[in-house]
Amino acid sequence: MKYDWLTALMLARADDEQPAYGGQGTVPAGLRYRERGLALAFLAEWAAEARLLAPRLGFPQAPSGR
C-alpha cells in the first residue's frame, strides 16, 4: 500500500506540535489525527473498491490475494 508508512510516522510524531496552514498557530492533536484517520479510511475504501473492480476490467488478482 502506498501510504503504509504514514501511520507509523504519525504515531512517532504524536507529541510534536504541528503548525496550522499558513503558519498561524497550531493544529490540535485530536483534530489532526481525526482528519488523517478519515483520509486513511477513505484510501482503504478506495483500495477495496479497486480490488472489486479489477477483475471486471481484466486486471489480475492482487499479489496479496486479498
pLDDT digits (tens, 9 = 90+) for 18-48: 888 888 899 888 888 898 889 889 989 998 9
| Within-domain flag for 66 | no
Alpha-carbon distance of 66 to 59, in angstroms, equals 14
pLDDT digits (tens, 9 = 90+) for 15-25: 888 888 888 89
pLDDT at residue 46 in the model: 92
pLDDT digits (tens, 9 = 90+) for 50-66: 989 999 999 987 777 65
Q: Whole-prediction pTM value?
A: 0.61
| Within-domain flag for 37 | yes
Range of the domain at 50: 29-57
| Within-domain flag for 10 | no
Number of compact structural domains in the chain: 1
Alpha-carbon distance of 14 to 2, in angstroms, equals 21
| Within-domain flag for 44 | yes
Backbone angles phi, psi at 19, to 5 degrees: -65, 145
| Within-domain flag for 42 | yes
| Within-domain flag for 18 | no
Q: How many residues does the chain have?
A: 66
